[in-house]
């Protein structure tokens, strides 16, 4: 949050940071459940760029901000934790895109939103089998505490739609290992409820050289995340993991045009490729930048 504030206020972006008390007041029960195992205070960060002050239209960019993810009680193997300090790549992408838009003085209104926290183990941590609430009022059965990013995003997306009143929403997240299995580190996975917005994202991604692959959202997939004891399950099981994670998020955007970008593979490279070094890639900062800039 300190980095976001320092980097973005310097270029004219308004930054608001909410701590645990304010997050509780907002009713973000899903986000708070993930934070319970950590001694670090969660931070909810709202970044506003008013590039077009005479317009009420605005796009929200929502980034997953897990600063470290152990998996919680559904513990990751140690080899799977080595790069989990990069589980905030979605949040970093939002900060980077916001800064680029402000530096270029792009005449569009954009609001960046990050729910930042750690997912750790303690006596207070949330557990498999818990049923938790959410800002939307929907209840969620926790089947796996390592499916935590979607819980933080659920409340962040609802905030974007209901509090910010965004006209369109893009979320960016290192969300599923299933996306890496399906697309490796070459294509970003995408889910949408609006093909027009999806086509704009694809066009921006092509300009940026950051390829995106849209995945199907047949209604049958939605059955996999229907809850037994709550409204939703936080995982749909082994099959179609990227799709069911995206459809879980769709439950928190109502009818607002929305695109979900799963950057689990593309945000980090194990070996250098082309102009990209080993490590963090910055994907999809350029895509987000061109998406907004092409409209200005």
- For the residues 76-95, what does the mean pLDDT come to? 96
Q: Is the pLDDT of residue 296 over 90?
A: no
- Nearest Cα residue to 70 out of 62, 61, 60, 82: 82
Torsion of CA 82, 180, 112, 168, to 10 degrees: -170
Both structure tokens of 270: 């194990």
- For the residues 220-248, what does the mean pLDDT come to? 98
Catalytic residue list? 76, 150
Model confidence over 150-186: pLDDT tens digits?
A: 999 999 999 999 999 999 999 999 999 999 999 999 9
Q: Is the pLDDT of residue 132 over 90?
A: yes
Confidence of residue 122 (pLDDT cuts 50, 70, 90): very high
pLDDT of residue 153: 99
- What is the number of domains present in the chain? 1
- Print burial letters for 186-201: b (CB count within 10 Å at least 16), e (below 16): ebbbbbbbbeebbebb
Phi/psi of residue 238, each to 5°? -70, -40
pLDDT of residue 270: 93
- Residues shown for the chain: 296
Range(s) of the domain holding residue 188: 2-293
- For the residues 53-77, what does the mean pLDDT come to? 98
pLDDT of residue 170: 99
Model confidence over 259-272: pLDDT tens digits?
A: 999 999 999 999 99
Find tokens 């950057």 and name the residue. Answer: 263
Model confidence over 175-216: pLDDT tens digits?
A: 999 999 999 999 999 999 999 999 999 999 999 999 999 999
Neighbours of 203 (CB within 10 A): 15
Give me the CATH number covering residue 168: 3.40.630.10
pTM of the model: 0.98
pLDDT of residue 155: 99
Average pLDDT score, the chain = 98
């Amino acid at each position: 949050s300190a980095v976001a504030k320092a980097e973005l206020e310097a270029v004219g972006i308004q930054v608001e940071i909410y701590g645990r008390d304010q997050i509780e007041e907002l009713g973000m029960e899903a986000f708070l459940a993930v934070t319970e195992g950590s001694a670090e205070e969660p931070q909810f960060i709202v970044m506003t760029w008013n590039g077009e002050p005479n317009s009420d239209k605005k796009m929200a960019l929502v980034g997953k901000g897990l600063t470290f993810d152990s998996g919680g009680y559904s513990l990751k193997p140690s080899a799977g934790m080595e790069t989990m300090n990069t589980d905030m790549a979605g949040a970093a992408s939002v900060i980077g895109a916001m800064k680029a838009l402000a530096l270029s003085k792009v005449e569009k209104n954009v609001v960046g939103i990050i729910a930042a926290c750690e997912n750790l183990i303690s006596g207070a941590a949330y557990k498999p089998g818990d049923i938790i609430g959410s800002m939307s009022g929907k209840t969620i059965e926790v089947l796996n505490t390592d499916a935590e990013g979607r819980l933080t995003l659920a409340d962040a997306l609802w905030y974007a739609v209901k509090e910010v009143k965004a006209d369109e929403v893009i979320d960016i997240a290192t969300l599923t290992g299933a996306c890496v299995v399906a697309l490796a580190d070459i294509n970003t996975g995408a889910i949408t409820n609006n093909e027009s917005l999806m086509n704009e994202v694809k066009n921006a991604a092509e300009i940026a050289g950051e390829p995106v692959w849209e995945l199907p959202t047949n209604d049958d997939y939605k059955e996999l995340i229907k809850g037994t004891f709550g409204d939703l399950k936080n995982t749909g099981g082994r099959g179609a993991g990227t799709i069911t994670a995206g459809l879980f998020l769709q439950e928190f955007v109502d009818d607002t045009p929305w695109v979900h970008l799963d950057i689990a593979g593309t945000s980090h490279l194990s070996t250098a490729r082309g102009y990209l070094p080993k490590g963090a890639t910055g994907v999809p900062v350029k895509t987000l930048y061109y998406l907004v800039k092409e409209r200005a």
